[in-house]
Structure 1
């Protein structure tokens, strides 16, 4: 029992560590490449950017204020457990955005004449290469958010709105988030410094970041299936079981030899493959092993089944 508690704590600690790394990456992409070029992203950070371009109010004030309101509603509707990592992410991202934006401003002031400054006195690190800034910023944001989501985190904002709407309406979270993001990006057209080019860059940012979010999450959740044929199947199975992975033993028969033999079936995360191969090789270097990718594995130790089951009418 104690061992399970320690494992759970270690996993939680790992989640928070990677969420923090992801938030830091998002801040770099957002403050270094998006804000100086007045490119609007989605989410509450994007809404904060629109207000920043129009009034000069730093993004983190809007980001924190809006998320506090949304979190207050979400805690009542969705429960505190759903919001714990979101609360952490909102606080950390607020701090990172404040430091990042202030850092960029001071960097521009310390290097007068070296970089072109935006209307808000932020240095344009890539000169007049707005499209490159859009691509690099979107790539950093997409990879960073993928890391956050992969570790059960959330940056709040439109995620919360989507989760609340999804609870009461037959609208997917993805559809609702996309709807909110498009409205936020399009709204930048109506500020004094807004133009169609930056709106299009905003749409490009949305597409690139979403593609990279999916890519990072798919890579991180990729699973593999092992079929292991060995005379020492029982020893191999026991060792694999010690790693926390389950093993299924199937009865098989060699067609040529007509001898009965045991076949081990193991489902694992792709990142665990090397460790499994080491275990097999150490016990039986002559074992026959087949490894294949699987599209999805759902259940204990893997992803949860998220399809809503229809309630049967009594």
Structure 2
């Protein structure tokens, strides 16, 4: 059985290539010209470049070499192959892309648009089931020995330390803008990862469950599941319809329910990932 939503392998490498290019663009043309440190090994690279004039791409490689050697020893080469590809590509793009200050020292625009560009790039790399090494892998190694902490918690501490170092060297003002950019990166990355698989889940409580279910199946071509329930106030048996639809279709579902039973009770929530027919399907080799 393949991974749900399986893509050809070349698509994953295309995602990694485009994603690392966008990340390097944000670093070279937005973060580095105004010395905005947003964490990660690239944040360390920006600090070192300002202090001792070491190129960003070279610092990224030097810092990642011991990390990957440890990763190969602990996890094996196959486990980090894609991450190695992404890391080398990021350094390649940092080397070939020109350093142009495209936002002319406008820090709020740099924080927002740098975060958007970088977030899309990171999201594409994550979609390919890879990372760009750096502090992500360092956090994973530390968590191997400090199991009572999550990787996310450790990563936050590491990146926070890098941002604080940037604040000490370049000033608190730039560090505060960097925090805005980090938030934007997080939101955009989550949107890339979850938005492609985002659906709506509706619970429908109505006395006309048969009519509502039939209309949903006929008009939308979506299935509905009847769940047995008991009204605790009235002690009467009820049928709760469970229905998963796309974001656009949820409007039609509410219209159908309202038209058939204006007194129905509808609960709508987000479904982050839906596996099965009509959504992300399993495929047999």
Task: Give the TM-score, by structure 2 length.
Answer: 0.69
Distance in 2 of aligned mates of 1:69 and 1:154: 16
**Counterpart contact for 1:165–1:171, Cα < 8 Å:** no
**Counterpart contact for 2:167–2:173, Cα < 8 Å:** no
- The change in CA–CA distance for 1:99 and 1:212 in structure 2 (over 3 A counts) is same
Distance in 2 of aligned mates of 1:297 and 1:202: 31
- Does 1:173 find its partner at 2:173? no
Distance in 2 of aligned mates of 1:79 and 1:223: 36
Task: Give the TM-score, by structure 1 length.
Answer: 0.63
Distance in 2 of aligned mates of 1:139 and 1:86: 22
Corresponding residue for 2:86? 89
Corresponding residue for 1:27? 24
- How far did 1:267 drift? 7.7
Distance in 1 of aligned mates of 2:107 and 2:184: 15
Corresponding residue for 2:254? none
Corresponding residue for 2:52? 55
Q: Which runs of 5+ in 1 are unaligned?
A: 105-122, 231-235, 237-246, 252-264, 274-291, 304-314
Distance in 2 of aligned mates of 1:297 and 1:215: 13
Q: Which runs of 5+ in 2 are unaligned?
A: 203-212, 227-241, 250-267
Q: Over the residues paired in the alignment, what is the CA RMSD in angstroms?
A: 3.4
- Does 1:146 find its partner at 2:143? no
- Does 1:203 find its partner at 2:179? yes
- How far did 1:77 drift? 1.6
User: Structure 2 residue aligned with 1:125, among 88, 102, 106?
Assistant: 102
**Count of aligned positions:** 230
- The change in CA–CA distance for 1:12 and 1:161 in structure 2 (over 3 A counts) is same
Q: Which has the higher contact order (CA 8 A, sep 6+)?
A: 2
**Counterpart contact for 2:108–2:177, Cα < 8 Å:** yes
User: Structure 2 residue aligned with 1:158, among 117, 121, 135?
Assistant: 135
Cα shift readout 1:156-194 (whole Å, capped 9, x = no counterpart): 101101222233312222111111111111112343xx2
Corresponding residue for 1:44? 41
- The change in CA–CA distance for 1:208 and 1:72 in structure 2 (over 3 A counts) is same
Distance in 1 of aligned mates of 2:162 and 2:18: 26
> Counterpart of 1:181 in 2: which secondary structure?
helix
